[in-house]
Structure 1
Amino acid sequence: MIRTMTAAGAAACLAACLAAPALSQDADPGRTEYMIACAGCHGESAKGDGPIAGLLEIHTPDLTRMAERAGGTFPYEQAVLVVDGRNEIRAHGSDMPVWGDRYFVSAMASDGLDPAQGDMMARGRILALVSYLSAIQQ
């Protein structure tokens, strides 16, 4: 489902983002999202060697080789869809957490946001994360 946002909604979303805890001037929000959401399984280096990886029943992929596995071009859209996970049919579970839901719930915990604003905040966090993944390709 595609949602649109009014100018007032965009302003409220921006205000909520600005009210969030500040990162240092040189901080990369995508790297921050990665370290919070992904490093436990994929490792700080994104090589698939996080502290939880050995406890999983699946192979944790090396995220620095996504472009290589996709024929040399970073699969930006696919990465966004996998990280978001809200549009996947997961009748039998999944190997990946549904970060779109988690980010949406987190955004909605902020006062005064409507669902469209929460969705925009969730998508922003996902895009920052995927942009970081794109930047660390080897």
Structure 2
Amino acid sequence: MTSRFVIAAGLLVTAAAIIACAPQHQVSGRALYMEYCASCHGADGRGDPEAAQALGKMPADLTRISARNGGTFPMVRVMSVIDGYTRRGDRSSVMPELGPILQEGPLVMLELDDGTVTPTPANLVALAEYLRGLQR
């Protein structure tokens, strides 16, 4: 059992080293937002009334996410909605699953609320951080 633990620990250290040594490139959350989100949520994140006509309902006001969550920005939940994880099988959702698109590129180590650190697509983190910056 001890040798399995040593092997597992070695694999984790190797994976962390690979991620840490991966070439860094700047990911623009704003550019990702403008490319994938602004057509429905508007350039300012408040929802686009013209898109609402085509969709049959008003897209969410992304500037009020924290306000709808007691003043706290729910980073992990926001990323889950963006990538589609929490919406799989929800036929009423008109928002596309962006997970496959945002997985391209490097990973970054993201610390979750419970202290767990997990490799996460840099594009997904950048987009969620941009949304955090839109809060009012």
Structure 2's unaligned 5+ residue stretches are 1-11, 109-119
Aligned to 2:128: 130
Name the TM-score, length of structure 1 as normaliser. 0.66
Equivalent positions of 1:17-28 (< 5 A) are 18=25
Q: What is the Cα deviation at residue 126 of structure 1? A: 0.8
Structure 1's unaligned 5+ residue stretches are 108-117
Name the TM-score, length of structure 2 as normaliser. 0.67
Is the 1:100–1:123 Cα contact (8 Å) retained in structure 2? no
In terms of fraction of residues, the more strand-rich structure is 2
Percent identity, please: 34
Aligned to 2:17: 7
Of structures 1 and 2, the one with the larger relative CO (CA 8 A, separation 6+) is 1
| Length, aligned pairs only | 112
Q: What is the Cα deviation at residue 91 of structure 1? A: 5.4
Partner deviation per Cα, 1:9-40 (whole Å, 9 max, x = no partner) = 654x42xx54xxxx7xxxx7111111111100
Distance 2:58 2:51 in 1: 11
Q: Let me know the Cα RMSD of the aligned residues.
A: 2.7
Is the 1:84–1:126 Cα contact (8 Å) retained in structure 2? yes
Partner deviation per Cα, 1:45-92 (whole Å, 9 max, x = no partner) = 111016533311232011101111111111211101100114543253
Q: Which has the larger radius of gyration?
A: 2
Is the 2:79–2:124 Cα contact (8 Å) retained in structure 1? yes
SS in 2 for 1:131: helix
Equivalent positions of 1:1-138 (< 5 A) are 5=15, 7-8=17-18, 11=21, 13-14=22-23, 18=25, 29-49=28-48, 51-86=50-85, 88-90=87-89, 92=91, 94-104=93-103, 107=104, 120=107, 123-138=121-136
